[in-house]
């Protein structure tokens, strides 16, 4: 969902899921609600001079909402992945969340919640 500060600008500001800051950039979106203000292609190059699209890993699994249709995503994104492939990016497996995240008070799910 858009931040309250973005809402008045949704028609003039393009919003993307991620950009490949460096080679081998990784962004995986698991079980998110993606609203319709996210651009259909999903991802944006870093710059024209340095697009960094050779080796990014931008993937999606189990997302819902009008912006979750991944069929029009950029060709260099991984796109939709299986539950097995997505499982390594859950909070527990990817960052060992249970060992440190509870102390922060930030709510999280260890693994998948709905799929």
Q: Note the pLDDT tens digit of each residue in 87-101.
A: 999 999 999 999 999
d(CA 44, CA 32): 19
- Return the structure tokens found at 67: 């912006």
What are the boundaries of each domain within the chain? 7-104
Give the model's confidence band at 11: pLDDT under 50 very low, under 70 low, under 90 confident, else very high.
confident
Average pLDDT over residues 66-82: 96
Residue of 66, 57, 69 lying closest to 26 (CA atoms): 57
Three-class secondary structure of residue 58 per DSSP: strand
What does residue 77 show for φ and ψ, rounded to 5 degrees? -85, 150
Largest CA distance in the chain: 42
Do residues 16 and 67 make contact, with C-beta atoms less than 8 angstroms apart? no
The model carries a pTM of 0.88
Nearest-angstrom CA–CA distance, 25 and 87: 18
């Amino acid at each position: 969902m858009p931040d309250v500060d973005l809402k008045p600008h949704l028609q003039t500001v393009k919003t993307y899921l991620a950009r490949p800051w460096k080679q081998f950039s990784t962004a995986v979106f698991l079980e998110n609600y993606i609203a319709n203000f996210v651009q259909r292609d999903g991802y944006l190059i870093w710059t024209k001079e340095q697009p960094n699209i050779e080796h990014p890993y931008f993937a999606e699994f189990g997302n819902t909402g009008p912006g979750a249709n991944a069929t029009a995503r950029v060709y260099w994104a991984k796109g939709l992945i299986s539950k097995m492939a997505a499982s390594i990016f859950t909070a527990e497996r990817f960052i060992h969340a249970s060992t440190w995240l509870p102390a922060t008070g930030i709510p999280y799910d260890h693994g998948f919640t709905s799929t």
